[in-house]
Chain A
Amino acid sequence: MTTTKMPTSTPLVEVQNISKYFGQVIALKDISMRVGAGEVMCLLGDNGAGKSTLIKTLSGVHGHDEGKMLIDGEEVRFNSPREALDRGIATVFQDLAMIPLMGISRNFFLGREPTKGFGPFKRYDSAHADRVTREALKGMGIDIRDPSQPVGTLSGGERQSVAIARAVHFGAKVLILDEPTSALGVKQAAVVLRYIARTKEQGLGVIFITHNVHHAYPIADRFTILKRGRSYGTFEKSDVTREEVASMMAGGEDLENLSSELAEFERTDREEAKDRHDGKRRTRET
């Protein structure tokens, strides 16, 4: 295809005019995007815009119906998440990343357990697992107390961070993060964003899915905005402001309508509160 799009180097992952249909439903239509090493590509879109479908296609959960998917410039088609993993594409799903009742190190190595010994004495090497987990997390700036403590005792941000550290440790080249910050508080979200920045510094490509512009804008290099299954466009950060991105994502008019509606709510709330206050005073007086 055209190399003019990306003159500097071959992108790690590129999709060209991808479409995906579920029966009559057009979930994705003609989507193109790419992410290179050391880049954060932010995929923005409202609910139902097709973000999930796109990442499920990239992570091998289901195939695409039209278009091309390229890894390191080579056309591929994934039949399972495992195949995507083997090509270095790791996906961290919002809720499904970790198993809460299992220990951190057991979670970290789930599916790729380190073993020692031979034949019937081949066994899970928990000392090694604990040590590597502790080091990998330390490298990302998280000092865990006890690698065998259940993941459920970690905060949401730490959990996401462990999942990211795991993907990095097992050689991911491209990290797909599905709404990693949406369920988190401000501080926790900052922890995860710092992590994403560190991952980028390590030369990984990051595809960051979110609907929160405030989380996306500081660390993204490029934005692709999805709307109702179609691409609204891809923008370099230098070309757009945060407000422009937010407005494109929600649809400018919608947002303006919303703010006037909110103002209206606020006004009626104030009045009601005032009424209640007056009423209370009146009852007390009688």
Chain B
Amino acid sequence: MATATRPLDERVRKTGFLRKLLNRPELGAVAGAALVFAFFAVVAGDRGFLTSTGTISYLEVAAQLGILAVPVALLMISGEFDLSVGSMVGAAGVLIAIPIAEFGWPLWAALLLAFAVALVVGFLNGYVVVKTGLPSFIVTLASLFILRGATIGFTRLITGRTQVGGLKSETEGSFLTALFAGEIGGVPVSILWWVGLVALGTWILLRTSFGNWIFGTGGNAVAARNVGVPVNRVKILLFMATAASATLLAAITVLDAGSADVLRGELREFQAIIAAVIGGVLLTGGYGSVIGPMFGALIFGMVSQGIFFTGVNTDWFQVFLGAMLLIAVLVNNFIRQRAARSR
């Protein structure tokens, strides 16, 4: 800072580098990820955690969550929740699988259908939230159940079962399969999708007008509207983005496994919110980043795979996840109070 060259204001406290770092929303998640990595490197380092296979396995788990966490974090910064992303993953998977398996659609048409339906669902979520003024927590809680129920109902109606399999023979060799479920140099493309989305999300949030509107919408919707920010449009677009990311994840998992399951994506909505919160996104909106949730997802991936490598019963994973969430929220509260403290 250039404070040294100017006459020092008596109200200004000199802020050190460390203090500035503490004000970054990502800090907690980065430190947490480093800690978790160090822990498993020591405990499970000799059991495969540090090998390239081990690394890719936890990165892949992190990527699947991280893809959802990007738009979920942006939506949370704008002040809203989307609890329906998990159900959307299941619904989109079935929307891709059934047309191919039952009606002989080409893969591209099935993907198009899934993304189109997702955008409509996202739009409806957003539209209902902004028009009724109801908390998005409630509105999307309703869509969580509606979507999941409809997915199960339609799938059983059409196929008689709750799983749709045997897609491999139809989708193998397609360019689209490589795009969503291929590998580049041994690295699953899902990891590249994740990194790419994080870069895109960060660009949007910090380097575009739309990003500024996201912060403004979540920080104070009335004030933002008063200066001309299209608050409703911002929210609806972000709801559409979360649904689209759920469909992307569905495409990745369906094409990778060659099958769809109506229950796929369960609890993903909460895991994505956990990743965002661990990543420093404020539950009440107006503050956060996309980089932070990336590290949140990384922690999730490292712990879930790391526990497997240590040989500890994986039942304990959820205990750890819950504890992490609580700590993250406490840290975030502390940081926010510092940031918003007025003299």
Interface residues of A (CB under 8 A from B): 81-82, 85, 91, 93, 96-102, 106, 109-113, 115, 122-124, 126, 143, 145-146, 150, 152-156
Q: Of the candidates A101, A111, A122, A126, which one forms a contact with B340 in the assembled complex, judged by CB atoms under 8 Å apart?
A: A101
Contact B228 A82 (CB under 8 A): yes
Contact A96 B208 (CB under 8 A): no
Interface centre among B1, B219, B286, B340 (most CB of A within 10 A): B219
Contact A101 B287 (CB under 8 A): yes
B315 at interface, CB cutoff 8 A: no
- For B223, the chain A residues whose CB sits under 8 A away are 93, 96-99
- For B9, the chain A residues whose CB sits under 8 A away are 143, 145
Cα separation A96 to B3 with both chains bound (whole Å): 30
> What count of chain B residues pass the 8 Å CB interface test?
34
Contact A152 B342 (CB under 8 A): yes
Contact A143 B342 (CB under 8 A): no
Q: Which of B329-343 contact A (CB under 8 A)?
A: 336, 339-343
Q: Which of B171-221 contact A (CB under 8 A)?
A: 203, 206-209, 211-213, 215-216, 219-220
- For A101, the chain B residues whose CB sits under 8 A away are 215, 219, 282, 286-287, 336, 339-340
Task: Give the residue name and chain of the A residue nearest to B23 (CB).
Answer: A150
Q: Tell me the interface secondary structure of chain A in the complex.
A: loop
Contact A156 B342 (CB under 8 A): yes
Contact A150 B340 (CB under 8 A): yes
Given contacts A101-B215, A154-B342, A155-B342, 13 further A-B contacts (CB under 8 A): A85-B228, A101-B336, A102-B216, A102-B219, A110-B212, A110-B227, A111-B229, A123-B208, A124-B208, A124-B209, A152-B342, A153-B340, A153-B343
Contact A152 B339 (CB under 8 A): yes
Contact B222 A145 (CB under 8 A): no
B131 at interface, CB cutoff 8 A: no
Interface residues of B (CB under 8 A from A): 1, 3, 6, 9, 12, 203, 206-209, 211-213, 215-216, 219-220, 222-229, 282, 286-287, 336, 339-343
Cα separation A102 to B339 with both chains bound (whole Å): 9
Task: Give the residue name and chain of the B residue nearest to A60 (CB).
Answer: B226
A91 and B226 in contact, given A101-B219, A143-B9 (Cβ under 8 angstroms): yes
Q: A-B pairs with CB below 8 Å: how many?
A: 93
Chain A nearest CB, measured from B342 CB (Å): 6
Q: Of the candidates A99, A106, A111, A145, which one forms a contact with B228 in the assembled complex, judged by CB atoms under 8 Å apart?
A: A111
Q: Of the candidates A109, A143, A154, which one forms a contact with B6 in the assembled complex, judged by CB atoms under 8 Å apart?
A: A143
- For B212, the chain A residues whose CB sits under 8 A away are 106, 109-110, 113, 124
Interface centre among B9, B213, B220, B287 (most CB of A within 10 A): B220
- For B342, the chain A residues whose CB sits under 8 A away are 100, 152-156
- For A153, the chain B residues whose CB sits under 8 A away are 339-343
Contact B208 A99 (CB under 8 A): no
- For B219, the chain A residues whose CB sits under 8 A away are 99-102
Cα separation A122 to B216 with both chains bound (whole Å): 20
Chain A nearest CB, measured from B288 CB (Å): 9
Contact A96 B220 (CB under 8 A): yes
Contact B220 A99 (CB under 8 A): yes
Chain B nearest CB, measured from A148 CB (Å): 10
Task: Give the residue name and chain of the A residue nearest to B336 (CB).
Answer: A101
A96 and B226 in contact, given A101-B286, A146-B1, A152-B341 (Cβ under 8 angstroms): yes
Interface centre among B286, B336, B339 (most CB of A within 10 A): B339
